[in-house]
């Protein structure tokens, strides 16, 4: 019963926005020209959407935080609106939190801690943080909210049911990308609700960043950490958005701080392949000695080596304006469906290159407009951002936002170039093959191409050349024929209905039978003409595999 009530609430709250988005593309949902909307109308709708998501609870707040970086799913101003959602909810009753804590530790709070503050330091959607004292040291105790696992599992089940029907009715790249996001989120949020895994993430990070690096994470109290409880040494410091007084006093230098922060995330992304996946100002502190402290390691991202190489190759291809190399890497990273034609994507890549060319000669005020144009290109064309690039963009937005907080003319791109230049040797060593090995691979590929070309010419001269059609192309032709046959059957059925109605009318002289038959025939003809082709297919083929494994929860 609870599932039905929750489904009804989510459906009734989100359906109006879904219909509004569909009408933005087609006036009558399935057919028609787009409905023209003013910027003020979109801004007002975006603000209402953010309020609705916040009201739906922790699952949708966390999901919205991920979607706020998905320019391939939502356009502006919706990205900005949902990015402002704060992961803050009213705290749970202290007694219920203490009950979870005591159940996990197997002992009363008074026996474990010297002192435990019942009032939380922070109350997020999944967990609650309390201050405590342990053996004379200040610690923080992170406790999973009671009932949050069941609520998240229920919300994900409802979400996948809605996506099931969206994939049936509107199978486009936006819906597919949204499905991929929710599927990935269903895995990540499970990890985030397991505090033992978060402790493991912290240990991995500390292995990559020694204490002397100036970047650290809180130390974990191992013997008190459980799946629903995480105890850490308390880190005190200044939030990254409140450093102005320290910059003014000379206690901290802005340039050094930004280079260290940018270098840390660049190292995680391109060198270590282990990225902090929840970057926002609330998770960054600057300690009294100047160290950067990164909090909340519930969500991390393992970036495989081939992905790091692909990101670097795309950056190099953009720099030398090599469209074919850009498109090859985009296909390799899964940004483009294999079914999308290369010519269509080439137009999108050309558009992005044109925008980047204008960026080189633009002033600071124009940069934000250019970034918006790139986001619009991602939204318009059938591109899907891989999760690695999504978190890369989120991190870039964090660094840019922190820099602009203190310097209106902050040049984030220039800072990244300086940091990359300083770590160039290490990046190339970890992401690019050695020159000798690269040259050998290049010669081997050239030799293979020449042999294949010679064999091709030889077969052509002997009239032995055969052209094979890929099975996917044959299946595509079969699918087209089957769908047109179904459309033809609809038309035949409509004609038969009209003829039978006329015969029955002649026999019994009942005008209502004739009118009903002709109306049904006309309706079938309209359906035959206007029904979208994909709705003639087996609807289940569009939604296979979008539901998560229920055993995970």
CA 110 to chain centre: 43
Beta strands in 224-379 (DSSP E): 229-233, 238-239, 274-276, 284-286, 292-294, 300-302
CA distance 301 to 360: 32
pTM score, whole prediction:
0.71
pLDDT of residue 196: 94
Question: Is residue 155 reached through a cis peptide bond, with omega within 30 degrees of 0 on the bond before it?
Answer: no
DSSP secondary structure of 479-541? HHHHHHHHHHHHHHHHHHHHHHHHHHHHHH--HHHHHHHHHHHHHHHHHHHHS-GGGGS-GGG
529-534: long-range pairs with CB below 8 Å, 24+? 530/30, 530/31, 531/487, 531/490, 532/30, 533/483, 534/171
pLDDT of residue 542: 47
Helix or strand holding residue 129 (H, E): strand 127-134
Quick one: DSSP state of residue 544? T
pLDDT of residue 552: 46
3-class secondary structure, 239: strand
| pLDDT tens by residue, the chain, 553 residues | 678 888 889 989 998 888 888 788 777 776 777 788 888 999 999 999 988 988 888 888 888 877 876 776 888 888 888 877 765 567 889 999 999 999 999 999 999 999 999 999 988 888 899 999 999 999 999 999 988 899 999 999 889 888 888 887 777 777 888 888 888 888 888 888 999 999 999 999 999 998 788 999 999 999 999 999 999 999 999 999 899 999 999 999 999 999 999 999 988 988 888 999 888 888 899 999 999 999 999 888 888 888 888 877 776 676 666 777 877 877 777 777 666 667 667 777 777 677 666 655 544 444 555 555 666 666 666 667 777 777 777 788 788 888 888 988 887 777 877 887 777 677 666 655 545 555 665 676 677 778 777 777 777 777 766 665 555 556 667 767 777 787 888 888 888 888 998 898 888 888 888 899 889 888 888 877 777 666 666 554 544 555 555 444 5
- 553, 155 in Cβ contact below 8 A? no
CA distance 492 to 498: 10
211-214: long-range pairs with CB below 8 Å, 24+? 213/264, 214/260, 214/290, 214/291, 214/292
- Name 546's Cβ contacts closer than 8 Å, sequence gap at least 6: 160, 163, 164, 167, 179, 183
The C-alpha angle with vertex 161 and arms to 337 and 46, in degrees rounded to 5, equals: 75
In Å, what is the CA distance from 50 to each residue of 43, 57, 71?
11, 12, 16
In Å, what is the CA distance from 552 to each residue of 191, 201, 332, 549?
11, 20, 30, 6
CA distance 40 to 315: 36
β-strand partners of 123: 128
Task: Report the DSSP pairing between strands 215-216 and 292-294.
Answer: parallel
């Amino acid at each position: 019963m609870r599932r039905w009530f929750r489904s009804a609430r989510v459906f009734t709250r989100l359906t109006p926005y879904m219909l509004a988005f569909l009408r933005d593309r087609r006036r009558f949902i399935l057919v028609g020209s787009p409905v023209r909307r003013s910027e003020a109308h979109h801004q007002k709708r975006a603000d209402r959407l953010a309020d609705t998501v916040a009201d739906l609870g922790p699952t949708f707040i966390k999901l919205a935080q991920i979607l706020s970086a998905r320019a391939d799913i939502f356009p502006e101003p919706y990205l900005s609106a949902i990015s402002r959602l704060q992961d803050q909810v009213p705290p749970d009753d202290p007694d219920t939190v203490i009950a979870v804590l005591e159940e996990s530790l197997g002992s009363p709070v008074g026996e474990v801690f010297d002192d435990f503050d019942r009032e939380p330091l922070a109350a997020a959607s999944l967990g609650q943080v309390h201050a405590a004292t342990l053996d004379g040291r200040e610690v923080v105790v992170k406790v999973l909210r009671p009932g949050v696992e069941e609520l998240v599992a229920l919300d994900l089940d409802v979400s996948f049911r809605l996506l099931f029907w969206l994939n049936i009715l509107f199978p486009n790249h936006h819906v597919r990308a949204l499905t991929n996001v929710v599927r990935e989120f269903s895995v990540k949020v499970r990890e985030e609700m397991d505090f033992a895994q978060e402790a493991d993430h912290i240990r991995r990070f500390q292995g990559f960043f020694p204490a002397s690096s100036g970047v650290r994470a809180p130390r974990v109290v191992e013997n008190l950490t459980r799946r629903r409880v995480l105890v850490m040494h308390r880190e005190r410091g200044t939030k990254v958005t409140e450093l102005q007084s320290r910059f003014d006093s000379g206690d901290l230098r802005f340039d050094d701080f930004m280079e260290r922060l940018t270098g840390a995330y660049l190292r995680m992304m391109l060198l270590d392949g282990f990225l902090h996946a929840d970057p926002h100002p609330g998770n960054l502190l600057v300690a009294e000695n100047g160290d950067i402290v990164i909090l909340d390691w519930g969500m991390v991202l393992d970036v495989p080596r081939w992905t790091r190489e692909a990101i670097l190759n795309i950056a190099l291809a953009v720099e030398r304006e090599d469209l074919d190399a850009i498109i090859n890497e985009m296909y390799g990273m899964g940004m483009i469906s294999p079914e999308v034609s290369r010519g269509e994507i080439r137009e999108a890549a050309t558009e992005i290159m044109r925008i980047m060319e204008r960026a080189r000669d633009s002033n600071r005020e124009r940069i934000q407009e250019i970034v918006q144009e790139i986001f619009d290109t991602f939204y318009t064309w059938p591109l899907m951002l891989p999760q690695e690039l999504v978190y890369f963009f989120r991190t870039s937005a964090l660094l840019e936002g922190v820099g602009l907080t203190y310097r209106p003319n902050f040049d984030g791109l220039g800072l990244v170039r300086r940091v990359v230049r300083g770590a160039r040797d290490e990046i190339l060593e970890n992401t690019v093959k050695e020159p000798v090995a690269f040259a050998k691979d290049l010669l081997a590929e050239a030799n293979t191409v020449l042999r294949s070309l010679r064999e091709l010419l030889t077969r052509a001269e002997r009239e032995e050349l055969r052209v094979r059609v890929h099975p996917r192309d044959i299946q595509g032709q079969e699918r087209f024929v089957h769908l047109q046959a179904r459309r033809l059957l609809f038309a035949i059925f409509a004609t038969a209905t009209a003829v039978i109605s006329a015969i029955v009318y002649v026999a019994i002289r009942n005008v209502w039978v004739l009118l009903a038959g002709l109306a049904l025939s006309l309706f079938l003809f309209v359906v035959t003409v206007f029904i979208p082709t994909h709705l003639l297919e087996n609807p289940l083929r569009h939604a296979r595999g979008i539901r998560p494994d229920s055993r995970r929860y």
